[in-house]
Structure 1
Amino acid sequence: MTVPVHLKQLRRKFGSTVALDGLDLDIAAGEMVALLGPSGCGKTTALRIVAGFETADGGELLMGGEDVTSVPANRRDIGMVFQSYSLFPNMTAAENIAYGLRVRGRGAAIRKERAGELLELVGLPGREGHYPHQLSGGQQQRVALARALAIRPRVLLLDEPLSALDAKVRLSLREEIRRIQLDLGITTVFVTHDQEEALSMADRVAVMKDGRLEQCAAPGELYDRPATPFVAEFVGTMNRLPGTVRDGGVVELFGRRLPIHGERPAVGAEVDVLLRPEGLAVGAADDGAGTPATVRVATFLGPTTRLHLTTDSGAECKADLPSWEATALAPGARCTITPHENPVLVAERAGAPSLKV
């Protein structure tokens, strides 16, 4: 049975360090939510509190409407997958998977049947007799996932489960984890430092900063309509370009007036405009319609090419173009840039124009 999970005003301190500062987060039954943020933001602490490995200093944790804040970890019906696999080296794959059932006193026949079902589910049929050292890293993590699911947990927790794997295996396994999660409909919370992983797997992504929730939204909304400048710059690549706030809730950038999304500073304020690389159009040097600029670097990314540009006034920015359009824009080429007329976030001017890499 899958259940919703509610984190209500969770607080946790380690000495003078505040790990969680009143964290509120509602996770629907069957939903997969990723906790994303910089090191020290509190995401792992939050996951460990849900698991029962850490005790909150304040607030409540509800599962299925039941307050489990003080319930021991072994009574929460939680399945957890760690970064380091944590398989028992002296047990076969089937024995590792069935370990939780054995602890719960299930019979040998039930354990064997359940292990076989889960080996099929995670794509490892016929590996029941293999020991961890006979399995690749990706296969070991599949066994760890099967072990977490063996007890039919109400909630599945994933603590950076793919970070120790190489890129190709990581991509394959994250697709498998998502498929399994959808097939089972199990409420899942996972911690990751990988933005692509979070955006590609989760129903919603919760971006954290300093122990608080900055925004929790579907991946598309998080990317296209970030709620705060921190989220805008943390998720994906973002230009910071100098602009001026004008009447009518707009900001002037490169001669264009763009509607402001979110908080609007006073008219006349000098601000930084936050703009994605795909939010800039690049034209020919003689089109007379945009701001003159020079290509400094062109980085081929497959279907797109990222241009690193400097305007004649010294502002630096990045623009993404289809690679076939960028073939004539080698380093040193002259061009013009024009922002698309979409709503933008603005932030307090941070001195000289800067760019998040």
Structure 2
Amino acid sequence: MPAAGLELSALRRCYGAVRALDGLELALAPGELVALLGPSGCGKTTALRIVAGFERPDAGAVRLDGADITPLSAAKRDMGMVFQSYSLFPHLTAAQNVAFGLRLRKTAAPARAARAEELLELVGIGGHGARYPHQLSGGQQQRVALARALAIRPKVLLLDEPLSALDAQVRLQLRDEIRRVQLDLGITTLFVTHDQEEALSIADRVAVMRSGRLEQCAAPAQLYQRPATAFVAQFVGTMNRVRGTMVDTDLVEVAGHRLPVDGERPVPGTKVEVLLRPEAVGLEAVPARAAADPAVGTVRTATFLGAITRIAVVLEDGTQVKADLPSHRASEFPAAGRARLVPAARPVLVIEP
């Protein structure tokens, strides 16, 4: 089945006084995997349930290949859904679980069996078809759930935090498997998660939500390197907040350096907090008795992360700043030593405290 385009248009959904979705706009290209990312309560699962047909929006529409499917029931939408909990039928074998949707569609038994075997092979558990859910590990059960969602050849695959119930190692393995299967089949996929690493590693684009609205939707690298808003910058990845002062309409002074400002620009003279990624913070060792300098602090910790080491420095005003340095330089900054911040000369976002 060819991949389908999916569009969420001006979706609104309220629960009493709580506005779960507030005009959400999002479009998925055919064959694209988009991850909905955001804190708890931002509306991402509500959006997914509306796409699936489990809930109706108060306003707005869901379109599949340009056709409005908002009035259709979940059974008529050609969507495959994988839940956080595996939701397998305990009295059915893995193969029978995978074939369940085909049985409802009155597919012949030989075709059901062949399709179930094919999909169990695809998700990496061929040979487990005769086992019952209680005889499978959590990761294996979620693979069965994925195969079941794909059995009916849906136009869109919906994943509602499918990895959150698994331990870390299995989560990494299954994350890669989901991406492999999605690419092999070329199926349009909407993936809901609150795990930023998960979203950045698996998606073609990541849509960051806040309070029922879309803050930014972009490729993972763009989202990380050029966040559109301060919320996105602080939510995705690690971010330092260092005090600075606007010295021009598009320049901020921080740690003795003047940097160009992206996004909102407060008026000159405004005290702001400058958002700096750890990899955008350089360090220089300084003598223990160096003159007072707001850009100089005391090394608190050094965390080895392989090729890089994350150095935490506490400035005189109490601000803690994290800097990612090549690990071969870590010995230059021992605990309790002194170091000066050297921000990279690149555009930054600022917020008013």
TM-score of the two chains, using structure 1 as the length reference = 0.95
Cα pair 1:245 1:269 within 8 Å, conserved: yes
CA–CA distance in structure 2, aligned partners of residues 283 and 292 of structure 1: 9
Residue correspondences, number: 349
Written as runs of structure 1 = structure 2, the 5 A alignment for 1:1-357 is 1-247=2-248, 249-286=250-287, 291-349=295-353
Residue identity matched to 2:322: K
Structure 1 residue 256 displacement after superposition: 0.6
Deviation at 1:290, TM superposition (A): 9.7
Distance (whole Å) between structure 1 residues aligned to residue 105 and residue 3 of structure 2: 20
Q: Could you list the per-position Cα deviations for residues 2-38 of structure 1 after superposition, in whole angstroms to 9, with x for gaps in the alignment?
A: 2111111100001111100100011111000001101
Determine helix, strand or coil for the equivalent of 1:125. coil
Measured in 1, the distance between the counterparts of 2:92 and 2:86 equals 13
Alpha-carbon distance in 1 for matches of 2:243, 2:49: 42
Structure 2 contact 33–190 (Cα < 8 Å) conserved: yes
Aligned to 2:232, the other structure's residue is in SS state helix
Moved more, 324-333 or 140-149: 324-333
Give 3-state SS (helix, strand or coil) of 1:324's partner.
Answer: helix
Which letter does structure 1 place at the counterpart of 2:75?
N
Structure 1 gaps, min length 5? 350-357
CA contact (8 A) 1:283 1:290 kept: no
Q: Identity rate of aligned residues, in percent?
A: 63
Q: RMSD of the alignment, in Å? A: 1.5
Q: In 2, are the aligned partners of 1:122 and 1:176 still within 8 Å (CA)?
A: yes
Look up the SS of the partner of 2:55 in the other structure.
coil
C-alpha contact 1:11 1:22 (8 A) present in aligned 2: yes
Q: Distance in 2 between matches of 1:123 and 1:314?
A: 51
Please give the alpha-carbon distance, in whole angstroms, between the structure 2 residues aligned to 1:249 and 1:15. Answer: 43
Aligned to 2:148, the other structure's residue is in SS state helix
Q: Distance in 1 between matches of 2:312 and 2:75?
A: 53
Question: 1:243 & 1:43 partners in 2: Cα distance?
Answer: 34
TM-score, normalised via structure 2 length: 0.96
Identify unmatched segments of 5+ residues in structure 2: none
The answer to whether the 8 Å contact 1:141/1:161 transfers is yes
Deviations 1:83-102 (A, max 9, x none): 11111111111100000000
CA contact (8 A) 1:273 1:345 kept: yes
Task: Output one character per residue of 1:186-235: Cα deviation in whole Å (capped at 9) or x when no partner.
Answer: 00001111110000000000000000000000000000000000000001
Determine helix, strand or coil for the equivalent of 1:293.
strand
SS at match of 1:127: coil
Output the amino acid matched with 1:348.
E
Q: What is the distance in 2 between the residues matched to 1:167 and 1:245?
A: 43
Contact 1:290-1:338 within 8 A present in 2 as well: no
